[in-house]
Structure 1
Amino acid sequence: MNINIINTEKITEKFAREAVQEYTKRLSRYCKLKYIEVKNENQLLKEIGDRTYLILLNYKGENISSEEFAGRINELGIKGNSNITILICNTDLPQEVTEKVSFHMSISQMEMDINVLCMALYEQIYRAYRIMNGEPYHK
C-alpha cells in the first residue's frame, strides 16, 4: 500500500517532526508512506494523482473509529486500490480537488493545531495497521 500525506500547512514544531519520523519508521514494515507539504494550488493539483483514493482530513469531516479506519484501508487494499492520498487542509480547495475527494474524514470535531493533527493522523494510520494485522496496541 502506498500512502501519501499531503499537508497544505507546514509542521513547525520539532516534536511533531520527530513523531512523524518515528511513525514513518514504524509503518515502513506495513506500507510505503510519503509526506508532502505543498505551498500552492498548482503544486497541490500536481501531487494528487488520478488513480488514488483521496481522503480529505479536517474537522468538518466524518468521525470514524480506529477499527472503521483500519477496515476502510483494508477494504481498499482488497479491492486493488493500493494508492491512498490523505489531504490535510482546513481551507477552501479548488474545485478540481474537491471533485476528487472520495471520503471526508475527521480526527476530531475540534479544530487542532497542525502539529498535533499530523501526529494524531500518523498514530491512527499506525494503529490501523496494527489492527489489520491482529497485533496488540493499547486502547
Structure 2
Amino acid sequence: MKQHTHRLTFRTQGKGLVPITQPVLDWVRETGVFTGLLTLWCPHTSCSLTVQENADSTVRADIATFFETLVPEENGRYRHSTEGADDMPAHLRTMLTQSGLSIPIIDSEPALGIWQGLYLFEHRRAPHQREVVLHLFGT
C-alpha cells in the first residue's frame, strides 16, 4: 500500500461552484495508484466541497439561488458579523454542505458518475485563495 498527499490551491471569483475535477484527476494519475481511496479535505470554514452535475451550468445557478434563499445575507440577522454580512451565512452554508469527500479510485480514476464533477463551493462574496488537501491511499 502507498500513501500520497498533495495540496491544490484555487482562486475563487466570489460565491459559486468552482470546478476542481481536472486538477484532482491529473494528480491521481500522477501518483500511479490503481486502486484506493481518495480523501479531499477543505481546511476552511466559509467554503466547502461537493460532488455535483458537471454538464448543465443551470444546475450550479439553481444551487446558488437555493442557498441564497436558505441562508440569506441580511444585516442584523446574525450576531457574528466581524468579517462582513456574508461571513456568518458562509459558515452556515459550509456546515450544511461538506468539508470532506471520500471517493474510491478504480483503474487510476475517481469513481465518479458520467455527469458528476468535483467542486469547491465558495460561500463568500469576495475572491479568495482556497486550498484543498488530497490524501490517496492504495496500490
Q: Per residue, is there more strand in 1 or in 2?
A: 2
More relative contact order, 1 or 2 (CA 8 Å, 6+ apart): 2
Q: Per residue, is there more helix in 1 or in 2?
A: 1
TM (norm. structure 2) is 0.29
Kindly name which structure, 1 or 2, has the bigger radius of gyration based on alpha carbons.
Answer: 2
TM (norm. structure 1) is 0.29
